[in-house]
Structure 1
Amino acid sequence: MVVPAREDGFKEVFIGENCWYAIRISAAMLSKIKHIAVYQVAPVSAITHIADVKGIEKYKDTDKYIVYFKGNAKPIKKYITLSGKTKGEAPQAPRYTSYAKLLEASTLDDLWK
């Protein structure tokens, strides 16, 4: 799963609290999510970190979820950037992809094919 984040949320929550919350997740996908990656919006405009998922719980009194990490999110060696070829390719909401694609991708287009 890839989630978009602004700089403050990325630093305070994704890195600082080892979790990400208020995420809409399809019920069918809940048991399949093993990793979470973060896409930092402009000016970074790239997927920069990934974390192993420890657990997923309902978030407060909402239809959203909080994802807890097993440990600290790890930086990706080579950031996964926008290709510039596809309009609207930057994630605006959570998107699903595989861990294998995250390891191999160099652009976001590689993840969504």
Structure 2
Amino acid sequence: MSERRYEREDLADHGRALKGAGGVVGGLLIGGFVVATIAARIFGPAPSEGLEGALPTDVLRQLRVTLEAEWSARAVAWEWLDRGRGVARIPVSRAVELSLARGFPTRRDPPRHVTARTIR
């Protein structure tokens, strides 16, 4: 009887197969970059996204100036929010003066160390 030999692996030379697969993948990547570069040259750069691309720069500058003027006007304004409860909006500089004059609240109890046992 003749001795039969069967194939024990799917591919006898794994190294050569990996090199071939790497070459195919590398070729596809390089080809993709080449096509993208050519398309960018032909069709021009991609449009910018976001607010800066949608509005002209001078409109954005004017909007910023308007908002900053409104915010600075509100920062120095006095107005009642709830006159019945005595809640008013006061300028930031006056609030700082009052806080420094009255002092800040302090803790009466000494702070406890936080450990895994105290957290529940």
TM-score scaled by structure 1? Answer: 0.15
Asked which structure has the greater RCO (Cα within 8 Å, sep 6+), the reply is 1
Q: Bigger radius of gyration, 1 or 2?
A: 2
The structure where helix makes up a greater share of residues is 2
The structure where strand makes up a greater share of residues is 1
